[in-house]
């Protein structure tokens, strides 16, 4: 993972990137079948240098499927130097021909503001166009945008309609969404509605009707023709301007498949006995755990742990981690800095003096050291503990300081604090804020749903959005990131 490689997202994307192999299995037109078949064989042999020149001619001649594949290769540096502008160019060309996958990828670019001006409404139009062709990732992305209110007014009933549609097609992500209480209730309300049509209007003002979501009211969705610089892009031949349905992938990238090498320990402490109780930590932990399970983590969730229980949970988790694992540690609760060290507090800590805190609290560095000792390939430590100092006075002076101290990460590790040194993390944006999760966690929950977006970009997007939301209510909160990760890692591929 390379820090700062990509621009940051500011809103939620359901980023269903297909695997490169699946992309190369997209339908092939007769004119370029030979090159694409040879390119596929070269790719499967991991001979990317050979695959590239076999796929490029079809893309340059206007094959929208080859264009999507080529864009993906540039996006993920497969046989070529990573080039985001080049990837965007090929996605644009494919989308301009009405190809569902091209519209989908371009929608993702607009949704996240990746090398284009961010435009959630434009993204939704593109997703709708892909959805109208039966493209499952596009359909589920439309549902997620309605669920979260990203680029459109939040409408859980409409989200449920799309999730019901894609769940019937075997989409495990949608099935998981339909188990969430609020979505399940919405699904019960709309279940049984008569199917309606989405009217897709093309450039010639002709219209065609395509059944999509089971919605009662028909919708008119204009075809989006992306803006692009024609002088530096090959013009697709008119003969190729025909929408083609994307075959269903062999395996959805959003499926919640448990991978043995992905493990998480999630702790939420609210019920402190000797210091101020908290209100969001358990809810934050539950939500993080549920979302990690959806993306394939084996999750251990622990709530309101005392000293003995917390240390036992850490010992057990350390014993489960194996070399090469991808590991996530999340803690929500009270934390404190003593000198240059940060400590996470169990629920029964009294905090009579600094020595007691050092003996009975959990030093964050110990957790990081344990993961290094176990040779975890990737460790992400998320600490939402930057609240007011729970030990404001003791014997006439404060124990520790407000917030957490800057830390260091070993190679292969990334640490993110919900707020910077000396700052306070917000639980609510104001008296009317009814969200059960704290600001940092609620933003993270949205951002981690972006398949194909590397973790380093996710956390930086979280920082961006948290800063903006906090500033909107006159508060300063800048999540701190300490990144020493080598390579790229993803919540969703």
Give the pLDDT band (50/70/90) at residue 199. very low
CA distance 328 to 225: 41
CA distance 284 to 330: 10
311 has a pLDDT exceeding 90 = yes
For 327-345, the pLDDT digits (tens) are 999 999 998 888 778 899 9
Of residues 206 and 364, more confidence is placed in 364
Based on the fold, state whether residues 299 and 228 are members of the same structural domain: no
Based on the fold, state whether residues 211 and 311 are members of the same structural domain: no
For 57-73, the pLDDT digits (tens) are 888 888 888 888 888 88
Determine, yes or no, domain membership for 245: no
Based on the fold, state whether residues 122 and 220 are members of the same structural domain: yes
What is the residue range of 297's domain? 262-483
Tallying the residues shown for the chain, one arrives at 493
CA distance 137 to 126: 12
Determine, yes or no, domain membership for 248: no
Q: Which of 369, 360, 476 is nearest to 412 (CA)?
A: 369
Domain boundary among 210, 240, 270: 240
* pLDDT given at position 404: 79
* pLDDT given at position 242: 31
CA angle, 488 then 80 then 100, to 5°: 80
Domain boundary among 240, 273, 300: 240
Give the pLDDT band (50/70/90) at residue 32. very low
Q: What is the DSSP pairing of strand 326-332 with strand 341-344?
A: unpaired
Determine, yes or no, domain membership for 491: no
CA 115 to chain CA centroid, Å, is 18
Based on the fold, state whether residues 404 and 307 are members of the same structural domain: yes
Based on the fold, state whether residues 195 and 277 are members of the same structural domain: no
Determine, yes or no, domain membership for 60: yes
44 has a pLDDT exceeding 70 = no
Based on the fold, state whether residues 67 and 30 are members of the same structural domain: yes
CATH assignment of the domain containing 364: 3.40.50.1460
Determine, yes or no, domain membership for 9: no
pTM of the model: 0.50
Based on the fold, state whether residues 294 and 422 are members of the same structural domain: yes
398 has a pLDDT exceeding 50 = no
CATH assignment of the domain containing 84: 1.25.40.10
Domain boundary among 240, 272, 303: 240
419 has a pLDDT exceeding 60 = yes
216 has a pLDDT exceeding 80 = no
Give yes or no for a contact between 128 and 199, defined as CB atoms under 8 angstroms apart: no
Based on the fold, state whether residues 185 and 282 are members of the same structural domain: no
Domain count, the chain: 2
Question: 279: which residues sit within 8 A by CB, 6+ positions away?
Answer: 270, 427
For 101-116, the pLDDT digits (tens) are 899 989 888 887 777 8
Determine, yes or no, domain membership for 429: yes
Based on the fold, state whether residues 62 and 208 are members of the same structural domain: yes
* pLDDT given at position 383: 94
Mean pLDDT (the chain) is 77
* SS3 letters across the chain: CCCCCCCCCCCCCCCCCCCHHHHHCCCCCHHHHHHHHHHHHHHHCCCHHHHHHHHHHHHHCCCHHHHHHHHHHHHCCCCCCCCHHHHHHHHHHHHHCCCHHHHHHHHHHHHHCCCCCCCHHHHHHHHHHHHHCCCHHHHHHHHHHHHHCCCCCCCHHHHHHHHHHHHHCCCHHHHHHCCCHHHHHHHHHHCCCCCCEEEEECCCCCEEEEECCCCCCCEEEECCCCCCCHHHCCCCCHHHCCCCCCCCCCCCCCCCCCCCCEEEEEEECCCCCCCCCCCCHHHHHHHHHHHHHHCCCEEEEEECCCHHHHHHHHHHHHHHCCCCCEEEEEEECCEEEECCEEEECCCCCCCCCHHHHHHHCEEHHHHHHHHHHCCCCEEEEEEECCCCCCCCCECCECCCECCCCCCCCCCCEEEEECCCCCCCCCCCCCCCCCCCCCHHHHHHHHHCCCCCCEHHHHHHHHHHHHHHHHHHCCCCCCCEEEECCCCCCECCC
Based on the fold, state whether residues 72 and 118 are members of the same structural domain: yes
493 has a pLDDT exceeding 90 = no
Based on the fold, state whether residues 228 and 281 are members of the same structural domain: no
Determine, yes or no, domain membership for 247: no
CA distance 309 to 346: 8
Give yes or no for a contact between 336 and 402, defined as CB atoms under 8 angstroms apart: no
**b/e per residue 18-30 (b: at least 16 CB within 10 A):** bbbebbbbbebbe
* pLDDT given at position 18: 40
Based on the fold, state whether residues 285 and 170 are members of the same structural domain: no
Q: Which of 22-36, 303-317, 403-417 has the highest average model confidence (pLDDT)?
A: 303-317
For 118-158, the pLDDT digits (tens) are 888 898 999 999 888 889 889 988 988 898 888 889 999 99
Determine, yes or no, domain membership for 153: yes
């Amino acid at each position: 993972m390379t820090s700062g490689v990509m621009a940051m997202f500011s809103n939620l994307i359901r980023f269903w990137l297909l695997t490169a192999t699946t992309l190369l299995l997209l339908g092939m037109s007769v004119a370029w079948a030979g090159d694409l078949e040879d390119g596929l064989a070269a790719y499967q042999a991991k001979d990317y240098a050979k695959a590239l020149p076999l796929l490029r001619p079809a893309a340059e001649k206007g094959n929208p499927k080859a264009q999507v594949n080529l864009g993906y290769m540039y996006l993920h540096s497969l046989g070529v130097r990573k080039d985001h502008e080049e990837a965007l160019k090929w996605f644009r060309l494919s989308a301009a021909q009405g190809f569902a996958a091209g519209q989908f990828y371009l929608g993702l670019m607009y949704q996240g503001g990746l090398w284009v001006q961010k435009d959630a409404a434009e993204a939704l139009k593109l997703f709708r166009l892909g959805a109208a062709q039966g493209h499952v990732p596009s359909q589920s992305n439309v549902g997620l945008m309605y669920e979260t209110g990203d680029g459109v007014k939040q409408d859980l009933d409409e989200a449920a309609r799309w999730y019901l549609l894609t769940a019937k097609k075997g989409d495990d992500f949608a099935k998981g969404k339909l188990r969430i209480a609020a979505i399940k209730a919405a699904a019960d309300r709309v279940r049984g509605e008569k199917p309606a049509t989405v009217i897709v209007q093309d450039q010639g003002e002709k219209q065609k009707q395509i059944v999509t979501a089971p919605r009662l009211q028909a919708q008119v969705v204009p075809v989006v023709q992306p803006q692009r610089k024609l002088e530096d892009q090959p013009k697709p031949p008119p003969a190729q301007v025909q929408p083609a349905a994307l075959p269903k992938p062999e395996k959805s990238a959003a499926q919640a498949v448990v991978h043995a090498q992905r493990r998480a320990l999630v702790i939420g402490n609210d019920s402190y006995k000797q210091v101020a109780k908290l209100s969001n930590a358990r809810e934050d932990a539950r939500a993080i755990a549920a979302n990690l399970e959806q993306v394939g983590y084996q999750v251990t969730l622990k709530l309101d742990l005392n000293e003995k229980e917390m240390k036992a949970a850490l010992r057990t988790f350390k014993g489960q981690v194996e070399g090469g694992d991808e590991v996530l540690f999340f803690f929500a609760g009270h934390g404190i800095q003593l000198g240059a060290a940060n400590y996470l507090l169990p629920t029964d800590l009294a905090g009579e003096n600094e020595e007691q805190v050092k003996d009975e609290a959990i030093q964050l560095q110990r957790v990081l050291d344990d993961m290094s000792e176990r040779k975890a390939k990737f460790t992400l430590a998320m600490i939402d503990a930057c609240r007011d100092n729970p030990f404001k006075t003791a014997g006439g002076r404060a124990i520790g300081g407000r917030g957490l101290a800057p830390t260091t990460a070993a190679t292969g590790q990334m640490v993110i604090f919900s707020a910077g040194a000396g700052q306070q993390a917000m639980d609510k944006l104001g008296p009317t804020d009814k969200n059960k999760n704290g600001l940092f966690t609620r933003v993270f929950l949205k951002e981690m749903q972006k398949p194909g977006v590397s973790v380093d970009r996710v956390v930086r997007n979280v920082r961006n959005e948290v800063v903006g939301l906090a500033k909107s209510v006159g508060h300063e909160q800048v999540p701190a990131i300490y990144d020493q990760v080598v390579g790229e890692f993803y919540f969703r591929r």
